[in-house]
């Protein structure tokens, strides 16, 4: 499978917060990536384990990931929450905007695949979960070919409409139009100079950023892989999509996935969590965990 190409796996375990909480390491494409494994007090080979992928420029210890992971643990479900490298070694915490950006969205596919492989050595029932842009990256992983997971959960996943809105708001956010920058990046990539540096007024959440053309195109260039619902349509595993009714970041999850749900004959389920925002804070993480646990327990 394509996501396995170039993945080298080396394991190390470090206890962090007791016997049921460990930090794991893998080497993927020459970089060390980190994850936190949380397990119930007793975990057998048939206990479900969820590989969790965070959102844009975030990390494994962000509130929404930790909140859902801890709530799942209380429901007898293990989790393996990992931090995407974003081109860096042993990355922790939010991506520092002062750091140059050289990574593409597709890089996550190999890292998710590597963690799924690790998870399968711990459990016979492995699931994947992605929050926000992590949901899109999980969908890319699923669409990449046959995957050894039982099912997937997308938590407030980014949509094609949200990506379009991000491009449309660029000038209002950063004071300059995006079109000349996209043209500059496209020309550089076409000429084989995608790894050079370019100064831009903004990149994702970062002002006055230094990025490579390939990175800029990956996040701002329109393409079919930005349509998460379309990617899920290409997969075969059961999928649960959770939308937050007060989500101001990705407000069209219900509208984006509703046609797919109707056509999927039950393979794709779509549920909304009333009054939750994009990050499912506080008790809304418990609500999300309830829905996820019910979905997992019904998936055999």
Residue 5 scores a pLDDT above 60: no
The SS3 of residue 85 is coil
Identify the pLDDT of residue 20.
66
Share of the chain above pLDDT 70, in %: 93
Instruction: Answer whether 211's CB lies under 8 Å from 197's CB.
Output: yes
CA 147 – CA 141 distance, rounded (Å)? 8
Q: What's CA 294's distance to the chain center, in Å? A: 21
CA 107 – CA 141 distance, rounded (Å)? 10
Identify the pLDDT of residue 41.
79
Identify the pLDDT of residue 6.
40
CATH number for the domain running over 2-159+227-298: 3.40.50.1820
User: pTM here?
Assistant: 0.92
The number of C-alpha atoms within 13 Å of 106 and in the hemisphere containing its C-beta is 13
Residue 9 scores a pLDDT above 90: no
Domain assignments of the chain as residue spans, ordered by start: 2-159+227-298, 161-224
The SS3 of residue 233 is helix
Structure-token match 């992983």, residue found: 141
Number of Cβ atoms within 10 Å of the Cβ of 142: 25
Identify the pLDDT of residue 43.
72
CA 126 – CA 148 distance, rounded (Å)? 8
Please report which residue ranges of the chain form alpha helices under DSSP H.
Answer: 63-74, 107-120, 133-143, 160-168, 170-174, 179-190, 213-220, 228-234, 253-263, 283-298
Structure-token match 């646990």, residue found: 293
- Residue-wise pLDDT tens digits, 123-180: 999 999 999 999 999 999 999 887 899 999 999 999 999 999 999 999 999 999 999 9
Cβ neighbours of residue 177 closer than 8 Å, sequence gap 6 or more: 170, 171
Identify the pLDDT of residue 3.
39
**Predicted confidence band at 10 (pLDDT cuts at 50, 70, 90)?**
very low
- Residue-wise pLDDT tens digits, 214-239: 999 999 999 999 999 999 999 999 99
Mean pLDDT taken over the chain: 92
- Residue-wise pLDDT tens digits, 38-78: 998 777 778 899 999 999 999 999 999 999 999 999 999 99
Residue 82 scores a pLDDT above 80: yes
């Amino acid at each position: 499978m394509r996501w396995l190409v170039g993945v080298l796996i080396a394991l190390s375990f470090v206890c962090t917060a007791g016997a049921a909480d460990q930090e794991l390491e893998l080497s993927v494409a020459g970089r060390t990536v980190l994850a936190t494994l949380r397990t119930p007090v007793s975990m057998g080979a048939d206990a479900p384990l969820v590989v969790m992928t965070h959102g844009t420029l975030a990390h494994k210890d962000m509130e929404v990931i930790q909140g859902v992971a801890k709530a799942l643990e209380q429901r007898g479900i293990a989790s393996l929450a990992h931090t995407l490298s974003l081109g860096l070694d042993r990355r922790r915490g939010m991506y520092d905007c002062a750091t140059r950006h050289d990574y593409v969205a597709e890089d996550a596919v190999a890292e998710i695949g590597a963690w799924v492989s690790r998870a399968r050595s711990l459990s016979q029932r492995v699931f994947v979960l992605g929050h926000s842009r992590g949901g899109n990256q999980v969908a890319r992983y699923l669409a990449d070919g046959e995957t050894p997971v039982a099912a997937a959960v997308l938590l407030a996943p980014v949509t094609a409409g949200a990506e379009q809105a991000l491009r449309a708001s660029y000038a209002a956010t950063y004071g300059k139009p995006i079109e000349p920058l996209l043209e500059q990046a496209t020309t550089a990539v076409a000429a084989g100079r995608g790894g050079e540096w370019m100064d831009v007024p903004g990149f994702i959440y970062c002002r006055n950023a230094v990025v490579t053309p390939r990175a800029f195109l990956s996040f701002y260039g329109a393409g079919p892989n930005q349509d998460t619902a379309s990617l899920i349509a290409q997969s075969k595993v059961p999928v649960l999509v959770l939308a937050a009714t007060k989500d101001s970041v990705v407000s069209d999850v219900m509208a984006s996935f509703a046609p797919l749900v109707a056509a999927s004959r039950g393979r794709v389920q779509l549920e909304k969590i009333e009054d939750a925002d994009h990050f499912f804070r506080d008790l809304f993480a418990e609500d999300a965990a309830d829905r996820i646990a019910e979905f997992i327990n019904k998936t055999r």
